[in-house]
Amino acid sequence: MVLFIAFLLPFLGKEGMVWLLLAVSIVAYVLYHIKKKQSYWKRKGVQYVKPKILIGNIPIIRSKSFAETTQDIYKKFPDDRYHGMYQFTVPTLMLKDPDLIKQITVKEFDHFVNHRNFVSTDTDPFWNKNLFASRDERWRDLRTTLSPSFTSSKMRIMYTLIDECAQQFVDHFKKEKDVTVELEMKDTLRRYTNDVIATAAFGLRCNSLKERNNDFYRMGKVGSDFGFWRSLKLFVYGVSPALCKLLNLKVIPGNIAKYFSKIIEDTVKTRREKQIVRPDMIHLLLEAQKGRHHQDEDTKVSEGFSSVPEFEVTKNPQKQEITLEDICSQAFIFFLAGFETVSTFLTFAFYELTVNPEIQSRLREELQTVEGKITYETLLGLKYLDMVVSEVLRKWPPAILTDREVNKQITIQPKKPGERPLVLEEGVACMLPIFAIHRDEKFYPDPEQFDPERFSDENKHKINPSAYLPFGTGPRNCIGSRFALLESKLLIYHVLRNFELVQVEKTPNPVILDKYQFNITAEGGMWLGLKKIDS
């Protein structure tokens, strides 16, 4: 570089030399500050993965999937409870020890209340009003206001709506002339989750298998697409939030936000004018807005190993009112979570049942013991179904990772030889690498093997709860986990009662994960067959 500048000097005039020196000074200044930020863990004396300049440790253009990339980072320094890495220039502590994860997410929660904030409220207010993106006291108030809408008794209220969607799914394929229907499962199951969210969260009835290009599905698919270009936008957020604000870049495109907001606003207006009550999420959120329901005391129904407990959250005594805009934002994040993550889970659930026919047969035997129309309580009481679901969530967690951000300085005390007190300042990120932890043989012997017996009554006590994180952990766990489990179990129940899942020519074995997608997705699609069972 120095030789190149020396070569240019004779050809530049006096003014050109000034501009060149100014440009070089700016570049040097920027590089200095990037280097300084990316030397945080070195100054702390913490083992860390050497970052690439500006990008850090997770490149946008990858040779492996995002899940496998984070898993490779996780495997560095295998004997350490944690190690350092960088998300762009943000120092991030990767947590690998279940006890430390519990300390940070539960015991010391007041020091780690928030997720990392990518986007300022001014840049994208629609996104920042949702529960996931909310911070500090606003999050506390929203969580305690919304939690009663997601209890077991509220799931009973919406059970019939979800069951109708699952039966609609099965009826659609029972009408096919072919004995075996070959399907790309991710797209097919997105249509199911789309219809569930449409009816349960937005008060609409859809049949996305029949009406394949309906507006709700089409707009939802665009809104939930976190492929290369949306990932590139996240890269810009990570490098320079100020630049995003200047360019007015939004997480959710403006037309998508307007579309879903208008549905909610029109539905709410109609229900208020005509005094319509429908057992869905809009009704529950409107009741929460009015403060008309409280946390249920109903804990009699066992919800299975994969369900997450509700934690007590200290609430701001000066309650913030939940607005119609808040309801619109909550409904949309509910859509995003349900549309993408549940369809991902179901895709891999059907895959594992297909390539493990003995497990599929055993599960079908259990499901066929149910007589008559299945009820909410009966569904949750199916033990082997819960074991299968729990193992799918272990091996293929739809959320690859989650995070926490330090909001109050804290010291992590040493526990192992060679460690020393580690002071984490405000703004440092902590990563919980869910996918990698779930495939760590220290916690799950033979982790690549699909084995529901891990979660049997005889074995489940061997699993450290803090190393099982499909819905996160602590007070900031997934508020919609009950809903996700309900819609998943119902579809598995109805499908296996009517079809055998079989391999077809294009069924991947083994699965190769798509390196261009943020979520776990099979490269080339997940092709499986639904073979009708003679009744």
Task: Dig out the tokens for 125 from the structure.
Answer: 């207010």
Question: Is there a contact between 463 and 282 (Cβ–Cβ < 8 Å)?
Answer: no
3-state secondary structure of 37: helix
Between CA 501 and CA 492 the distance in angstroms is 11
Three-state SS sequence of 284-346:
HHHHHHHCCCCCCCCCCCCCCCCCCCCCCCCCCCCCCCCCHHHHHHHHHHHHHHHHHHHHHHH
Closest to 526 (Cα-Cα) out of 344, 341, 340, 339: 344
Q: Which residues of 302-329 are buried (b: 16+ CB within 10 A; e: fewer)?
A: ebbbbbbebeebeeeeeeeebeeebbbb
Question: Is there a contact between 85 and 92 (Cβ–Cβ < 8 Å)?
Answer: yes
Element (H, E) at 247: helix 241-247
| Residue 478, annotated as binding a ligand | yes
For strands 429-432 and 90-95, give the pairing: parallel
Site of tokens 């496998």: 68
Between CA 51 and CA 268 the distance in angstroms is 49
Three-state SS sequence of 402-466:
EEEECCCCEEECCCCCCCCCEEECCCCEEEECHHHHHCCCCCCCCCCCCCHHHHCCCCHHHCCHH
For strands 527-532 and 90-95, give the pairing: unpaired
Between CA 440 and CA 422 the distance in angstroms is 25
Between CA 448 and CA 180 the distance in angstroms is 29
> What would you report as the CA-atom Rg of the chain, rounded to the nearest whole angstrom?
25
DSSP letters for 56-113: BTS-SS-SS-HHHHHHHHHTSSTTSSEEEEEETTEEEEEE--HHHHHIIIIITGGGS-
DSSP letters for 495-523: HHHHEEEE--TT--SS--B-TT-SS--BT
Closest to 116 (Cα-Cα) out of 150, 143, 86: 86
Site of tokens 């430390």: 100
Task: Dig out the tokens for 86 from the structure.
Answer: 């960088």
Annotated binding site: 478
Annotated binding site for heme: 478
